[in-house]
Amino acid sequence: MDEATGPQSTFQRLKSVCAPLLGSSLLTPASIPVALRLLSQLGDILRQLQSSAQPLTTPTITYVFFPLSTILRRNELANIPDQVLEKVLDALSLLCDTWWWDMDIAAWEQVFMLCSAILGGIDRKGKGKDRDEETKVAATSCLWALLRERTPSEGPSEQPAEGRAHTIMQAYRNHAQSAKFLPVLGQTLNSLLLAAESPHLPLQRVSLKVLSAIIGQYLPDGFVPSVLPGIISSMSKIALGTKTSKGWANGDIVADALLVMQYAIVRAVGDDVCLREGAVRSLDDLDDLVANPHISATDHTPTAPYMTRRTESWLRGTASQLHIAMNAMSPLVKHPTPAALVGLADFSAKVLAATTLTMPQSRPLLLSFLLSLKVSPFERVAVLSDVSLRQVLRSHNSGRHHILQTLLQISRDNLAALPRLLLSHADSKVEHAAQILTSVCSLATPSTNSPSGITAISAGVGKLLGPHGHVEKWGWSLLSTLEFVNPPIVVTPTSAAQLLLESDPSAPHDVAFPELTMQLVNSRATYEALEQMFRALGATAGDECLFAVEWFVDIAMSGRSARAVAALWCACRLLEGAGHVSTGAPASSTLAANRTRRLEKFARDLARRIGETWDDEDADMEDQFPEVSIPRSDVHEDNVLVEHVTGLATIRAVPGETPSKPSKPAHAAIQPMLHRSLRLQLLSVTAGILESRFPPLLLHTLYPVLHGIISDSPFESASAMAALSAITNHASYATPANLLLSNFDYSLDAVSRRLSRRWLDVDATKVLAVLVRLVGRDVVQKAGDVVEECFDRLDEYHGYEVIVDGLIEVLQEVVRVIEEDEANRLVRDAPPGQDIPYPEDPALRVNDFAEWFNHRHDKEQETKPSRDSSYPREAWGKPEENAGAEDGGETPQDDGRAAESPSQALTHQIVSRSLYFLTHAAPQIRARILLMLANAVPVLPESALLPSVHQAWPFILNRLADAETFVVSAAAMLISALATHVGDFMYRRIWDDVWPRFREHLRRLEQADASSALSRRGSGAVGTESAYTHSHRLYRAIIQTLTAAARGVQAQDATNWEILVLFRRFLHNQVHDELQACARELYGALNKQNEDAVWLVMSATMGEVEGPMTFLREPRWDIKENVRLILQM
């Protein structure tokens, strides 16, 4: 729309304000309110025009500027109120945004000087009071409108803006750098530096913006060195927030202050300007070595006023002072706001790239800033730092080689400083050093913002870890401080891994390695940073790190000390990085990597070495026990040993006192358990590297893993289980059971070699047992070899109790695994009469009694006499043999019995060949055989089970008389299993053989409890307080066995009555809860056989029955609650 036409045009709107404003230009107490109102309206109109993108023409701008300038001319500047001056400056700022394109130099200069005078307080000299902060903000904003650089898109649309913005900017810059205007520029700079330190945030923010524009665009090159110290001093205070009460400066303020410093440093000591003036020389080629600088250091050519010449001596001093100032800004790395961190990253990158030659001592500092920010939790900061580092390292100038060397030197320095930092318990510093190394290594790999890495870093890190990296220097000092704490020892009957397998050993388990704890590191984040550092070093160096890994492994295999443990940990972490494998993550999450043949060969040799040296527990212990010279007894003998000692002289309190043996240093402690656990981690790493090519190595590595599972240490056992899980996943097996079954021969061969006369390992039998347990139900396919191996070794080592016990444990484990498979358990018919329900209707009970009473004297029909089938009358299998002989030929054996399954045949073989050990001298072996027989009962058919039980029955009865409680309990468990599954066969044996012995045990236990200090006290108390005493366990075994007999064996009325009477005391509420529960089970089973007898005994005991049964009353026993549960009252 045309500004001169149309209703409510722009010009008319401005005229309606400017005309009255001109009339009120002379400020008096009466006109000031009117002027303020009109100035506010003018500012609102200009802002609306600016937001609606309606440009003002030069005549319109001049028209608006006239009343504003009139106010400034007709009134003393010092007498203009702050509010009026603020409104005037706001209007000028809005006008200058557009006027900048057509403003003449004189007007530009006058407005600049006006704002500078107001900001510096020159306008009110002698008044004793500065302008308020809002007025200074308006003056500074007006300066920003005058000084900021425009882009071509901001120019007027009717005028061509290509190159025009640069031309106008250059004209203003030339005028500002003139000798006449330079003092004004300097005074303005000083005023802005003072305003930038104001606590008023808007003034501080806009002052820093104007400072960045003046320093970056308007100051002459020779003038910047003159004002550099003041700028750096002020900006350092602002960035560090020394005048703020909250500790940290605002993030935007820090970023703006760093930007001002960046402009000042780059323009004062940048490579380009210093090269032009000869303060520094560039050595890009051989000609530069003989070339003379353009300006000699001794050149005394006069310089212009206010200017400073850049010389070598000036540069050395200035660079040193700048380094001190930038080093003081190190705390900014921990600034909590991302804006400040982004500003620091940009500052470091720009200054580093521009001052490579002039400030070599600051390169490590600036690089450390960028490396620290690269691991920032703020993604924007981390990405910017990574991109900046890669850009600097990929630049084509000669300085990038210096930066790269500095970067690698930082890596060496931080690696060498780790031992000192660890000893000082400075977790934060250790974490910082580790993160610096990790950041350096990450530059060698591609990122989302860079398709390729910096190959020179890979070469440098590879050199550090290679043959020429002096690993024997920094590695040895590092090992002396990386001490690990032994995990607490927990004594348990079974290992943690075995407890894990109790649920389902064939199920897949993703088990993580247990966490280690460092002696000198308290923070978990620091420990993880160290782990990540070593992995990053290995991943960056690639195959070149194998030299360092081998060096660490050699140190580790030379002993079992804390230093050897630390060496294993370092080797494991480095190898994880080189192979791109992580022991802390499932195998499915491991990134696929192209692994070289050299790495795979190294992993193969390492795995074989670990397997072959697993049993070498007596390794060289020179580090653990240093030799001490012993004085000779005969001082007159020749060649007397002389020990030269340096240090403090030893002074003894008592002459002739024998000096005590010096204590071993902390690092000399032997840690075999941690050593084995870390070797298992190394095995899992080699499996991750070789993957599908690892199974052939199981011949050497399976035994160490299985040996670790049976360890008494939960830490080592969990580590072994995690190693087995990792190897299973890496080798592409579904479960550990599948892995072990597929390589069963390897495991069996390893165990067999350790059970020979040349090499006898008592743990080999435990390894075999856990192998059977891990394989699970599928062990039947391979168990024949295991059983033959066990019996061969039993024949060979029958005199060695420990070996025999271990082999019997293996056989017991085989039978237990077979028994736990539901498919192997036989379904037997219920004993006759056991499944007949007891009549519930009392009338039916009376009718049955009447029927019996009427026919009680009737003679029974002649029937074929039945014989007791509890023992054989002739040799088993004899009728079949005779029948075959009578026919004169061979006939197939068909006695009505089904053929044995492989599981039953194997169990039958184990049972038949193990019965002889029922009389072994070792009680634990006798107990194992009894428990093994109990596990075999549900599996074997009667044709295979009963002959063995019949043959061993006298020995089983003798075991009930053993002095060891666990043997008696095991025998009771066997009898209970037999009573449950072959009750008819056990009828006579239970009531004629077992019950009298149980009754004698009860009598003896009652007498022993009367004099035992562990017995329960009080009226009618029975048993002991603890559930772990011998008497308690015997009571429990006897009650459980009789319960099984009551359920599976035909009852005898007289014996049942005796049991009902004897076991009433265990229903007393003062008895141990476990025994009460067992007693309730017993009476519940008896209640199903003879409910009347149970009711009569219970009621008589509680005194509810009168007459001849009162002798059963026991008022000292409170059995009401248990009786209610039994009778379901």
Cα–Cα distance between 746 and 751 in angstroms, integer? Answer: 9
Closest CA to 1104 of 1112, 1067, 475: 1112
Cα–Cα distance between 960 and 972 in angstroms, integer? Answer: 8
What does the pLDDT read at residue 879?
Answer: 47
What does the pLDDT read at residue 860?
Answer: 53
Angle in degrees, 0-180, between the axes of helices 942-959 and 923-936, rounded to the nearest 10: 150
Cα–Cα distance between 447 and 1016 in angstroms, integer? Answer: 73
Cα–Cα distance between 834 and 1089 in angstroms, integer? Answer: 8
CB 401 within 8 A of CB 360: no
Cα–Cα distance between 528 and 537 in angstroms, integer? Answer: 14
Q: Which residues contact 156 (CB under 8 A, 6 or more apart)?
A: 55, 98, 101
| SS3 label, residue 639 | coil
Q: 10-residue block means of pLDDT along the chain (1129 residues)? A: 49 88 88 91 89 82 90 88 91 90 90 90 63 91 91 71 82 91 92 91 93 93 92 93 80 94 94 87 60 48 75 92 94 92 94 91 93 91 91 79 89 91 91 92 82 85 90 90 81 48 52 88 92 93 93 92 93 93 61 78 94 69 37 38 48 51 52 92 94 90 91 89 92 89 86 82 86 83 81 82 87 86 73 52 61 68 47 50 44 54 86 88 91 90 89 91 89 90 87 90 83 70 78 88 88 86 87 89 87 86 81 84 80
CB 145 within 8 A of CB 93: yes
CB 142 within 8 A of CB 89: yes
Q: Which residues contact 776 (CB under 8 A, 6 or more apart)?
A: 505, 506, 737, 817
**Can you list the pairs that 790-798 forms with residues at least 24 positions away whose Cβ atoms lie under 8 Å?**
791/913, 793/755, 797/755
Amino acid occupying residue 893: Q
Cα dihedral sign, 1060-1065-1070-1072 = negative
| Per-residue CA distances from 691 to 590, 604, 727, 1022 (Å) | 11, 11, 8, 62
What does the pLDDT read at residue 587?
Answer: 46
Q: Which residues contact 322 (CB under 8 A, 6 or more apart)?
A: 232, 265, 269, 359, 362
| SS3 label, residue 450 | strand
Helix locations, 151-222, DSSP H: 164-176, 182-196, 201-213
Amino acid occupying residue 216: G
| Residue 561: strand pairing partners | 670
**Can you list the pairs that 762-766 forms with residues at least 24 positions away whose Cβ atoms lie under 8 Å?**
762/802, 762/803, 762/806, 763/707, 763/710, 764/806, 765/803, 765/805, 765/806, 765/807, 765/809, 765/810, 766/710, 766/806, 766/809
CB 55 within 8 A of CB 157: yes
CB 1022 within 8 A of CB 1066: yes
Cα dihedral sign, 1013-1015-1016-1018 = negative
Tell me, what DSSP letter sits at residue 26? Answer: S
Cα–Cα distance between 698 and 742 in angstroms, integer? Answer: 11
Q: Which residues contact 955 (CB under 8 A, 6 or more apart)?
A: 915, 918, 919
Return the structure tokens found at 402. Answer: 């210096």
First CA to last CA distance, the chain: 103
Q: Residue 671: in which H helix or E strand, if any?
A: none
Return the structure tokens found at 289. Answer: 């070595």
What does the pLDDT read at residue 163?
Answer: 78
Cα dihedral sign, 804-806-809-813 = negative
| SS3 label, residue 447 | strand
Cα–Cα distance between 462 and 1040 in angstroms, integer? Answer: 70
Name the one residue in this structure whose structure tokens are 């009728």: 879
Name the one residue in this structure whose structure tokens are 């500092």: 365
What does the pLDDT read at residue 650?
Answer: 52
CB 1086 within 8 A of CB 1046: yes
CB 1117 within 8 A of CB 1098: no
**Can you list the pairs that 919-922 forms with residues at least 24 positions away whose Cβ atoms lie under 8 Å?**
919/955, 919/958, 920/804, 921/801, 922/801, 922/804, 922/805
In degrees rounded to 5, what are phi and psi of residue 484? -110, 145
Cα–Cα distance between 588 and 924 in angstroms, integer? Answer: 45
Q: Report pTM.
A: 0.77
Residue spans of beta strands (DSSP E) within 3-96: none
Exposure of 237 in the CB half-sphere (CA atoms within 13 A): 15
Neighbours of 343 (CB within 10 A): 26
Cβ neighbourhood burial of 535 (10 Å; 0-12, 13-18, 19+): buried
Q: Residue 470: in which H helix or E strand, if any?
A: none
Cα–Cα distance between 553 and 568 in angstroms, integer? Answer: 6
Cα–Cα distance between 956 and 926 in angstroms, integer? Answer: 10
Tell me, what DSSP letter sits at residue 29? Answer: T
Cα–Cα distance between 591 and 540 in angstroms, integer? Answer: 15
| SS3 label, residue 755 | strand
Q: Helix, strand, coil shares of the chain as percentages rounded to 5?
A: 65, 0, 35
In degrees rounded to 5, what are phi and psi of residue 76? -65, 130
Helix locations, 558-697, DSSP H: 562-579, 597-612, 672-690
